[in-house]
Chains A and B, each alone.
Chain A
Amino acid sequence: EVQLVESGGGLIQPGGSLRLSCGASGFTFSAYAMTWVRQGPGKGLEWVSYISTRSTTIFYTDSVKGRFTMSRDNAKKSLYLQMNSLRDEDTAVYYCARVSRYRESSLDYWGPGTLVTVSS
């Protein structure tokens, strides 16, 4: 059974840093690209970042470029999102999701999400 579990969320002050993790099981992690998607309180889904299978291609949405860094460790079957210079508007539930095939493909499995609250 495919499972994705996020961790690392919490309450952080504006300007602070946080590192999210996503552990994968039930599939060959190294064979799939991955994404982070976030959802602000009462809001819709927002794509955050994408990483290819061997980390050679990484993309970010404009609002997080230069502040967030996505990475992965295939040996540990883990995905990461380093978030720096956090702003109030980064408050959201952050989901990691598996990309089913290529970059434009659907996200076929999602984790339950981890809540990040940026507030003083």
Chain B
Amino acid sequence: QSVLTQPPSVSGAPGQRVTISCTGRSSNIGAGYDVHWYQQLPGAAPKLLIYDNSNRPSGVPDRFSGSKSGTSASLDITGLQAEDEADYYCQSYDSSLSGSVFGGGTKLTVL
């Protein structure tokens, strides 16, 4: 049972848009802590995709965007491509646990 809740899976056809949600609570996202997103390709280590809710590291395509509101955050992927097929994780900080927390992960399938 992860502290942050994500849908187990989402899917979309090439070129379409998908949204992955991440729901927290008052001790983490709702407390104002930033949300970060990671992409994990099959067999690889996670890679930072979005930091501080909506910022992209250098090299991440602008097809990826993030937002945060209240106790939730979202990752949007537009213009889906086959290489986007991966697991996506949200992360934040939880003051009651004094540590980072992750969502359970969402598997994106490109149809």
Beyond A50-B100, A59-B99, 8 additional contacts (C-beta under 8 Å) are A37-B102, A44-B104, A47-B100, A104-B93, A104-B100, A105-B36, A107-B91, A107-B100
Select from chain A the residue with minimum beta-carbon distance to B49.
A106
Task: Report whether A44 and B98 are in contact in the complex, using a CB–CB cutoff of 8 Å.
Answer: no
Q: Which of A60, A106, A112 has the most CB of B within 10 A?
A: A106
A103–B91 Cα distance when bound, in Å, is 12
Number of B positions contacting A (CB below 8 A): 27
> Contact check: which of B34, B46, B47 meets A104 at CB < 8 Å?
B34
Closest to A96 in B: B45
**Contact B45–A113 (Cβ < 8 Å):** yes
- Which A residues lie at the B interface, using CB under 8 A? 35, 37, 44-47, 50, 59-62, 95, 100, 103-113
Q: Of B93, B102, B104, B105, which is within 8 A of A103 by CB?
A: B93
Main secondary structure of the interface of B (DSSP, over half): strand
Q: Which of B34, B57, B99, B102 meets A44, CB within 8 Å?
A: B102
For residue A100, give the distance in angstroms from its CB to the closest CB of chain B.
Answer: 7
Residue among A47, A108, A109 making CB contact with B102, cutoff 8 Å: A47
Enumerate chain A residues within 8 angstroms of B93, measured Cβ to Cβ.
103-104
B52–A106 contact, CB under 8 A? yes
Question: How far apart are the CA atoms of A108 and B59 in the complex, in Å?
Answer: 13
| Pairs A–B under 8 Å by Cβ, sample size 30 | A37-B46, A44-B2, A44-B102, A44-B103, A44-B104, A45-B46, A45-B89, A45-B91, A45-B105, A47-B101, A50-B100, A61-B99, A95-B45, A95-B46, A100-B48, A103-B93, A104-B33, A104-B93, A106-B34, A107-B36, A107-B100, A108-B48, A108-B51, A108-B57, A110-B45, A110-B46, A110-B47, A111-B45, A112-B45, A113-B45
Contact (Cβ within 8 A) B99 A47: yes
Residue of chain A at shortest CB distance from B101 = A47
In the assembled complex, which residues on chain B have CB atoms less than 8 Å from the CB atom of A62?
97
Tell me the bound Cα distance from A44 to B38 in angstroms: 12
A47 to B93 Cα, complex, angstroms: 10
Contact digits for B12-56, partner A, Cβ 8 Å, 1 yes 0 no: 000000000000000000000110101010001111100110000
